[in-house]
Amino acid sequence: MMATSRFDLKTWIIAFLVFLQFTSLCANSDEAYCDKDTGACEENGTEQTEKDKYREVDPHWQKYLDKIHQAMENYKPCPNPDKKCSCHSSVITHDLKLWKDRGGITKEEFDRTLEQDKGTHYQIIDHKLYRQDRCMFPARCSGVEHFILEIIDDLPDMEMIINVRDWPQSPMYQREPRPVMSFSKTFNEHWDIMYPAWTFWEGGPAVWPLFPTGLGRWDLMRDSITKANEDWPWEKKEDKAFFRGSRTSAERDPLVLLSRAEPELVDAQYTKNQAWKSDKDTLGMPAATEIKLEDHCQYKYLFNFRGVAASFRYKHLFLCRSTVFHVGEGWLEFFYPALKPWVHYIPVSQDLKDVRELIEFAKANQGVAKEIAERGFQFIWDHLRQEDVQCYWKKLLKKYAKLLKFTPTRRKEYKQMKPKNR
């Protein structure tokens, strides 16, 4: 009886050790998923593992993890490679729908808009580009003209009014929409037709002393920032939020004030702009020194705020492979709608009431924050190349030309615009 008991005990111990070894191998396998309740392991459990990585966490953060999980379930990635810039095509469809529903753009509507000085008048006749003599911002017009001239041989005759001001020109509170193109708008407040901003080539905001003649070309900035980030892998980045910019509006104040109260959490400071006169213009403190976009890559969490309209800073931040915190959802550029909250960036309410908690969430869930950063980087790298910008221009202008219900007649006083030597 005693021998039998010893045998049973020995058998039980061996069986138990084998079980532990089996479950250990299963739990550590990249190709298996172990159910925490039944202990059963299944191969090829990648999808289940993806879902379960948002479980077994601090309940305080579960609401944000649920948002990420839901966003990822609903997200449909753009084709890659995407030679037809289909990732952004829905914006063209949206912006031109009004004019399609109205039966097109009449000569009377176009001339009335032109008389109201809503933008710069361009004509394309026989694959040549003509422009009225006056342009409010010559460098901005030059940035626009670069892209049109690159595709001029593929474009039909047309004429268009291109607004190079910061502010859109066809607000919905006016009864009659105006066929004007602008780089930025809000979907629910403006009828403007969005085009890729001049800043993809030249005419960006001057940032003294870093960019005295304007923010650099997008293709060159892409290379410069990504190269700089090679020195700052995620593990070496400083674990705090970061922002530098002028006090365009008081919307940015809560983050700057939080930085002053808790500098270990966030480094946010105001810099000078053209309107700066005293420390009062930087919220009662001396203006901070401008920081190169390449040097933003030292930080894990980067904040983006709108400026007068959409911010030119936004697209650059993703190149650092840092988590972008995007404040507010109103102001857009043509590529914004394809970027999804919780997939590519962390959304922050415009009043910043949730800003402290969101930063703490990212710090407490670094793996998740890093994944958002990687998805944001990859989207910008794959779908906001110079060829994507060029593709958007071509698709936009071709579809716009089909809506014109008149044949353009060249104005003799307009000068022909030709490519610049680069």
**323-382 tens-digit pLDDT:** 999 999 999 999 999 999 999 999 999 999 999 999 999 999 999 999 999 999 999 999
- Residue 5 or residue 289, greater confidence: 289
Predicted pLDDT of residue 207 = 75
In which band, very low, low, confident or very high, does the pLDDT at 422 lie, cut at 50, 70 and 90?
low
Residue 394 bridge partners (DSSP): none
Query: What's the average model confidence in pLDDT over 279-293?
Result: 91
Output phi, psi for 119, to 5 deg. Answer: 175, -170
18 vs 154, higher pLDDT: 154
6-51 residue pLDDT tens: 445 555 544 544 444 444 443 443 333 333 333 334 344 444 445 5
Entry pTM: 0.85
35 is catalytic: no
Mean pLDDT over each residue of the chain, to the nearest integer: 89
Neighbouring residues of 49: CB distance < 8 A, sequence distance ≥ 6: 33
* Radius of gyration for the chain, computed over Cα atoms and rounded to the nearest angstrom: 27
What type of residue sits at position 117?
D
pLDDT digits (tens, 9 = 90+) for 65-78: 999 999 999 999 99
Domain 219-386 -> CATH class: alpha beta
Buried b (16+ CB within 10 A) or exposed e, 267-299: bbbbbbbeeeeeeeebeeeebbebbebbbbbbb
Residue with tokens 């674990």: 239
State the Cα–Cα distance between residues 396 and 91, nearest whole angstrom: 9
Q: Angle CA(64)–CA(69)–CA(70) in degrees, nearest 5? A: 95
Determine the pLDDT at residue 24.
44
CA angle 308, 331, 69 (to 5 degrees): 140
CB neighbours (10 Å) of residue 123? 19
Q: Find tokens 């403007």 and name the residue.
A: 192
Alpha helices in 102-165 (DSSP H): 107-115, 138-150
**Residues forming a β-bridge with 325:** 303, 346
- pLDDT over threshold 60, residue 290: yes
Please report the pLDDT score of residue 27 as a whole number.
Answer: 40
Q: What is the DSSP string of 84-118?
A: T-GGGHHHHHHHHHHHHHTTSB-HHHHHHHHHTT-
Phi, psi of 331 (to 5 degrees): -80, 135
User: In this structure, which amino acid lies at residue 161?
Assistant: I
Question: Whose CA is closest to 378, among 164, 152, 226?
Answer: 226
Average pLDDT estimate for 397-413: 98
* Beta carbons of 241 and 299 less than 8 angstroms apart: yes
Give the containing element (helix H, strand E) for 356. Answer: helix 355-364
pLDDT, tens digit (0-9, with 9 covering 90-100), for 183-228? 999 999 999 999 999 999 999 887 767 777 778 799 999 999 999 9
Average of per-residue pLDDT across 245-264 = 95
Please give the pLDDT value at position 249.
86
Structure tokens at 61: 């953060």
Residue among 190, 189, 145, 150 nearest 164 (CA): 145
Catalytic residue among 52, 82, 157, 166: 166
**Do the beta carbons of residue 405 and residue 121 sit within 8 Å?**
no
Please name the helix (run of DSSP H) or strand (run of DSSP E) that holds residue 70, with its range, or none. Answer: helix 62-74
Backbone angles phi, psi at 122, to 5 degrees: -120, 150
The first and second tokens of residue 369, run together, are 């924050």
Intervals of CATH 3.40.50.2000 along the chain: 219-386
Measuring CA to CA, which residue among 116, 113, 136, 137 is closest to residue 193?
Answer: 113
Percent of the chain with pLDDT over 90: 76
